[in-house]
Amino acid sequence: MKSVFQSIKNLPQDVLDQLDDLITVRKLKKGDFLLKEDQVCSEIVLIKKEF
């Protein structure tokens, strides 16, 4: 995940370490949904498309 933030902006290492402590990586399978109907999102989501 650090490489994603570094590509957005060159952040200091201590900031990257703090972000790394806060981030949870979640992988979804094809056909899975981030949210269910009527569910409110309380997260910031970055989506990386993999083939």
Contact of 1 with 23, CB cutoff 8 Å: yes
Helix (H, G, I), strand (E, B) or coil at 5: helix
User: Hey, what are 47's tokens?
Assistant: 């989506």
- pLDDT for residue 2: 65
Q: What is the pLDDT of residue 16?
A: 83
Give the pLDDT score at 39: 94
> How big is the CA angle at 38 (ends 19 and 49), to the nearest 5 degrees?
45
Grouped pLDDT means (10 residues each) for the chain, 51 residues: 71 84 85 92 82 64
Q: What's the pLDDT score for residue 1?
A: 66
What type of residue sits at position 32?
Answer: D
Structure-block tokens of residue 30:
């094809």
What pLDDT sits at residue 36? Answer: 92
